[in-house]
Structure 1
């Protein structure tokens, strides 16, 4: 595949332009209307996604959980052994190895899912639900429990560094809607209603090869206007190996415009900080970039998100 020229840096988005963009992509569902964009996945589409399976290979799209502190992970997962460990093993009888984990679900290193209650914008949640539904005990509406039956459908991976002919996008870079369309053409497919869309920016490969950095200051992601591509195609979910949002923000007065548009306006569950380095070689070898995808969040009835391990089945 011939590399595409690096696009000109997208223009900043003014507050007025963002308001217009929000109105254009907003899902018309009212409060309490189902599971947001996941409702666009029909049983027929799930059956069609099963037909994507050819070789039967299963590939993870999650990164290993980080327990080490770093510039992008100041509050890492804490893993403690609470049962049988070396030095405390009895010579006879039964013991159990046990452990406990505590994690910051919405950190900048570990793979996780953002529920529809995760984004508060202008005092409301998705569908107009009031932010007061976020109580000290947890979310009383739009929690990760909406996905308790799992998320199953056709996954589509659009590899933007491959399109550009580079190993990764540099922090601060943005992916445009035109690039998403170019990548779908290069991968010989079309993103359609109910698809689970994954966009690779190369964040994980850069982190693995060059080391972690402060992702609050700089990271690659989608340009806000790229969300019109997702709205037009009626995708059901968005995931990336980065945060989905680029930094610094391109939008006046909004630090995470893709999160606002995706979760708050469009009702998309977002998957942040995945890794596609295991999947890309398989897609290249099989020359196909779509697959059956299975995502099973933890059943945390009042939580704003969940650790996640999405599986691609090719």
Structure 2
């Protein structure tokens, strides 16, 4: 675990300025280890204070309309990207009673997911959030009778959930409305990057204000495009290793924007940032967000119905309720998420 850290100043939002990262010069780039204590497992979810959540509920819940953001667990029925175990269901007759049970088996990242703090480490330093090692994760806790450790597990997020004000950046709709000559090509199935300036232009066009502690959702067009692909096309994409996906740009400016505003980030694509990352890139968002800040990354969120409703209402902010599965030591989880208007 990272030792306590001191000597930094907090700004008006109660966090260090981006320029002060890392908090200790010996820690990995941009990291905020120790900000919430050496044993913290919530990271940027600490920004979702009771007061902030209550204010979001008061301001955002007006009609009671609820929209699920969960892609079906079997949305990739035969094969999945990243060779993850697809969803299977065993339906069991409980004869002679007229009763059924079922058993589900699936990789926690095969459909809509929150990436947890055990998922992706700083690759060079081989450290997860707050300095946790692979040995810490795969070891046993001698103080708990030799049970497997649960450090940085997804269960820590289940206690209070990921709940607060959400904002949708409907980049896909915004992009389709722009003159083609003004934009570079963007394909969700290529390593194309979404510039920060485009996300900000989309927010401005929507007249959507971002508030500190918001939960960010970006509709890139992946789940809108996926159903249009044939099985042969999808197999061809999966055959390319590493896979290629569009996503937000990997830049210091993007990192600064996320640090200064959000408690969690999510998108409809398989990788939140464009993928694959160049070798030795200092701006791999998975490293910094998950292992540097403890910031949840959501992927494969189904934002189609949400985008349609936001457009109809001319309102792209809402209340978010997400309850990750309570799996001690879990790496990731379906979000079980609703947007409430």
Q: Could you say which TM-score interval applies, normalised by the shorter chain?
A: 0.7 to 0.9
- 1:128 shift after superposition: 1.4
* Alignment-derived partner of residue 88 in structure 2: 78
**Structure 2: segments with no counterpart, 5+ residues:** 1-24, 140-146, 179-185
Correspondence 1:129 to 2:129: no
* Alignment-derived partner of residue 64 in structure 2: 56
* Alignment-derived partner of residue 301 in structure 2: 274
* Alignment-derived partner of residue 280 in structure 2: 253
* Alignment-derived partner of residue 11 in structure 1: none
Q: Among 211, 216, 227, which residue is 1:197 paired with? A: 216
Given that 1:57 and 1:313 are in contact with CA atoms closer than 8 Å, whether structure 2 keeps it comes out as yes
- 1:227 shift after superposition: 2.3
CA distance in 2, matches of 1:79, 1:188: 44
Q: Among 17, 23, 48, which residue is 2:29 paired with? A: 23
Q: What TM-score do the two structures reach when normalised by structure 2?
A: 0.76
- 1:151 shift after superposition: 1.4
CA distance in 1, matches of 2:326, 2:72: 20
* Alignment-derived partner of residue 73 in structure 2: 65
For residues 132-151 of structure 1, what are the alpha-carbon distances to aligned partners after superposition, in whole Å with 9 as ceiling and x for unaligned?
A: 22116755211111112211
- How many aligned residue pairs are there? 283
CA distance in 2, matches of 1:130, 1:309: 29
Given that 1:26 and 1:261 are in contact with CA atoms closer than 8 Å, whether structure 2 keeps it comes out as no
* Alignment-derived partner of residue 257 in structure 2: 229
CA distance in 2, matches of 1:82, 1:255: 50
- 1:217 shift after superposition: 2.0
* Alignment-derived partner of residue 98 in structure 2: 95
- 1:291 shift after superposition: 0.2
* Alignment-derived partner of residue 218 in structure 1: 244
Correspondence 1:151 to 2:162: yes
Q: What TM-score do the two structures reach when normalised by structure 1?
A: 0.82
More deviation, 26-35/214-223: 26-35
For residues 82-110 of structure 1, what are the alpha-carbon distances to aligned partners after superposition, in whole Å with 9 as ceiling and x for unaligned?
A: 225xxxx75xxx32111001111123xx1
* Alignment-derived partner of residue 21 in structure 2: none
Given that 1:41 and 1:193 are in contact with CA atoms closer than 8 Å, whether structure 2 keeps it comes out as no
Q: RMSD in angstroms over aligned alpha carbons?
A: 2.5
Given that 2:43 and 2:293 are in contact with CA atoms closer than 8 Å, whether structure 1 keeps it comes out as yes
* Alignment-derived partner of residue 53 in structure 2: 46
